[in-house]
């Protein structure tokens, strides 16, 4: 490679990250500015959702928050990608497995984090009103272990 070719190659490597950063979407999400709406049909009724960044239905990263009431439950299910959850307020009870059993699992308070790897069956329940944030890479989805538990069949 010539000296000019080496310089051009190095310049391209330096400029590539700058152009990538410039193309990124800038997002600021103050809690009181979130636009809450009904949760998706794939979740039991009672959940509210606010998309913060990206689109969970499309390829690429996304971030959204879910708000649920006390007594809310999500039956055993899996996702097509890693699910990353941060508890914002309340208590998020999570357990791994294909059978719902409240005697198992972990209670996460505000600030707690969990990662459920792609395809791992898990379930959740809430003993108080709770807000949690989910981030991952789309397209996103949920598949219930027992198809009869899928709220889309009864909503």
For the chain, domain boundaries = 30-153
Q: What is the mean pLDDT of residues 57-85?
A: 97
pLDDT at position 151 is: 97
pLDDT at position 29 is: 86
Assess whether pLDDT exceeds 90 at residue 155: no
Assess whether pLDDT exceeds 70 at residue 9: no
Number of helices (H) and strands (E), helices first, in the chain?
1, 11
Instruction: Check: CB of residue 84 under 8 Å from CB of residue 150.
Output: no
**What's the pTM?**
0.82
pLDDT at position 24 is: 60
What is the overall mean pLDDT for the chain? 87
3-state secondary structure of 67: strand
pLDDT at position 15 is: 37
pLDDT at position 116 is: 97
Q: What is the pLDDT of residues 96-146, one digit of tens each?
A: 999 999 999 999 999 999 999 999 999 999 999 999 999 999 999 999 999
pLDDT at position 22 is: 38
Instruction: Rounding to the nearest 10 degrees, give the CA dihedral for residues 66, 67, 70, 74.
Output: -20
pLDDT at position 45 is: 97
CATH fit for domain 30-153, picks 2.40.30.30, 2.60.120.10, 3.40.630.10, 3.10.20.30: 2.60.120.10
pLDDT at position 154 is: 79
Q: Hey, what are 22's tokens? A: 């410039």
């Amino acid at each position: 490679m010539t000296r000019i070719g080496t310089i051009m190659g190095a310049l391209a490597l330096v400029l590539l990250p700058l152009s990538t950063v410039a193309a990124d979407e800038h997002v600021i999400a103050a809690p009181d500015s979130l636009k809450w709406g009904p949760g998706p049909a794939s979740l039991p009724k009672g959940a509210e959702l606010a998309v913060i960044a990206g689109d969970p239905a499309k390829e690429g990263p996304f971030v959204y928050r879910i708000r649920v009431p006390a007594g809310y439950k999500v039956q055993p299910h899996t996702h097509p990608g890693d699910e990353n959850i941060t508890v914002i307020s309340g208590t998020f009870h999570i357990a791994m497995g294909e059978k719902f059993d409240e005697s198992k699992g972990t209670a996460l308070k505000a600030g707690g984090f969990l990662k459920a790897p792609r395809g791992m069956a898990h379930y959740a329940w809430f003993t108080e009103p709770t807000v949690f944030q989910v981030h991952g890479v789309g397209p996103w989805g949920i598949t219930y272990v027992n198809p009869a538990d899928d709220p889309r069949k009864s909503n």
